[in-house]
């Protein structure tokens, strides 16, 4: 893929995201529409769009301070991509500028060709001063909307700075080692033999020094290891499934936690998801792990569509949320979310949790799990739930903040008495 083509596609994708579209969905659409793209082309396009969105606050501020009047949206998006290439990649500067100017020539009758050329060349000449000035703005310094920074300062006064720093980093590739076959120490030896440096996080978790294709991981195809964020790996130890228990995984796709609980114990798992295509991924993951579960494509809160009346010993309620804890992996989330979204999703969660509670036996336990750092969806949700249900007792709750080895998660284990 030529640089010009990469800039064009990436700028179009950024525009779609800033109009409210999901980055992964747009990437899939573009890749399907352009079958000529090779695997390396697709990876390059993903890196370019993810990187530009990761540092969008800074890039937008640079464009703003170098233009007296805002150019059309497609020109702004082209500038964002080109500035990202100039500042954050090893692309040849002259090639980045020339191709961006050539693309601008094809837009709006070429009226903004000179602007693009002048702005990019000015950045190359004055980048130190321009960056220093841009970084005076919180949105540019932290690459988060101002409301998000203020929210974190309010709710995490001791941790907010480390959180926003972590949220701009590339996410690590972390492995969950299947305890039915081996442990982290033994698997690290296999990785070393394959030339893949890694460090052990705990007895069955490993973080790679650098991401690799799963096809290069020893025994991946035979289910000895799975790719899963270290924070996500904490869910099943908290739920602690026991052999012989009936367990519900209420929002199962893509199946990482489903597989983990079946590695943990010989339990009888029912896995639900409302999306049939995503449920297929659960089945694929279970097949690779040589495990089985009862899969149902259904809305978990619509009990009539799937529940047979037999109560469960334990429920994993990995409920829909704003995903505010996983922006390292999904940088579009930073720019798509609005201040009221946490409260909106919390209301959706309430209906789901209330219905799931009906399917849990007395003496059972429910683990509420979110990949959010917004308190409305987390501890406030638990407080409201306990108020509504006299037979509920909170055993523990835990917030995992985003850091260098994990995304952000919240867990609360609730007993039914």
Residue 252, marked binder: yes
Token pair listed for 163: 């959180």
Instruction: Classify each residue of 131-154 as buried b or exposed e, where b means 16 or more C-beta atoms within 10 Å of its C-beta.
Output: eeebeebbbbbbbbbeebbebbee
Distance CA 12, CA 141 (A): 25
Residue 299, marked binder: yes
Residue 318, marked binder: yes
Residue 364, marked binder: no
Task: Specify whether the CB–CB gap between 113 and 105 falls below 8 A.
Answer: yes
Cis peptide upstream of residue 167 (ω within 30 degrees of 0) = no
Helix (H, G, I), strand (E, B) or coil at 272: strand
Distance CA 132, CA 184 (A): 44
| 297 beta partners | 273
> What is the distance, to the nearest Å, from the Cα of residue 287 to the centroid of all Cα atoms in its chain?
24
Distance CA 226, CA 258 (A): 12
Instruction: Classify each residue of 59-69 as buried b or exposed e, where b means 16 or more C-beta atoms within 10 Å of its C-beta.
Output: bbbbbeebeee
Tell the residue number behind the tokens 């120490």, with chain if given. Answer: 185
Question: Which candidate in 21, 267, 297, 371 is catalytic?
Answer: 371
143: left (phi over 0), alpha (psi -120 to 50) or beta: left
Is 371 assigned a catalytic role? yes
Token pair listed for 327: 């922006």
Residue 256, marked binder: yes
Task: Specify whether the CB–CB gap between 247 and 268 falls below 8 A.
Answer: yes
Task: Specify whether the CB–CB gap between 218 and 187 falls below 8 A.
Answer: yes
Residue 246, CA distances (Å) to 267, 269, 310, 311 in order: 6, 6, 9, 8
Residue 249, marked binder: no
Residue 153, marked binder: no
Annotated binding site: 251-257, 273, 299, 318
Annotated binding site for S-adenosyl-L-methionine: 251-257, 273, 299, 318
- Active-site residues, by number, are 371
């Amino acid at each position: 893929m030529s640089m010009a083509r990469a800039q064009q596609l990436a700028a179009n994708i950024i525009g779609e995201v800033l109009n409210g579209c999901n980055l992964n969905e747009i990437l899939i659409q573009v890749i399907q529409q352009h079958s000529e793209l090779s695997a390396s082309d697709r990876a390059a396009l993903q890196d370019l769009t993810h990187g530009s969105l990761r540092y969008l606050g800074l890039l937008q501020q640079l464009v703003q301070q170098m233009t007296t009047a805002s150019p059309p949206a497609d020109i702004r998006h082209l500038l964002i991509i080109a500035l990202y290439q100039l500042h954050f990649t090893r692309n040849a500067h002259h090639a980045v500028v020339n191709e961006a100017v050539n693309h601008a020539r094809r837009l709006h009758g070429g009226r903004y060709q000179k602007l693009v050329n002048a702005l990019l060349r000015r950045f190359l000449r004055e980048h130190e001063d321009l960056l220093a000035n841009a970084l005076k703005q919180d949105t540019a310094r932290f690459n988060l909307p101002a409301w998000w920074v203020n929210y974190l300062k309010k709710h995490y006064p001791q941790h907010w700075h480390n959180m926003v720093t972590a949220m701009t980093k590339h996410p690590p590739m972390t492995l969950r080692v299947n305890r039915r076959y081996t442990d982290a120490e033994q698997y690290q030896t296999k990785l070393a033999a394959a030339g893949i440096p890694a460090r052990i996080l705990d007895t069955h978790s490993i973080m790679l020094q650098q991401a690799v294709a799963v096809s290069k991981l020893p025994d991946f195809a035979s289910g000895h290891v799975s790719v899963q964020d270290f924070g996500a790996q904490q869910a099943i130890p908290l739920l602690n499934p026991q052999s012989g228990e009936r367990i519900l995984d209420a929002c199962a796709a893509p199946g990482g936690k489903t597989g983990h609980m079946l590695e943990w114990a010989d339990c009888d798992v029912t896995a639900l998801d409302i999306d049939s295509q995503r449920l297929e991924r659960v089945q694929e993951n279970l097949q690779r792990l040589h495990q089985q579960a009862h899969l149902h494509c259904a809305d978990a809160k619509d009990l009539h569509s799937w529940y047979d009346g037999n109560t469960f010993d334990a429920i994993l309620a990995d409920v829909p949320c704003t995903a505010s804890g996983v922006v390292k992996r999904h940088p579009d989330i930073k720019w798509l979310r609005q201040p009221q979204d946490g409260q909106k999703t919390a209301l959706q969660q309430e209906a789901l949790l209330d219905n799931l509670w009906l399917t849990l036996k007395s003496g059972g336990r429910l683990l509420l799990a979110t990949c959010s750092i917004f308190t409305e969806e987390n501890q406030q949700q638990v407080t409201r739930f306990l108020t509504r249900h006299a037979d509920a007792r909170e055993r523990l709750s835990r917030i995992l903040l985003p850091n260098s080895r994990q995304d952000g998660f919240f867990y609360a284990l609730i007993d039914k008495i």
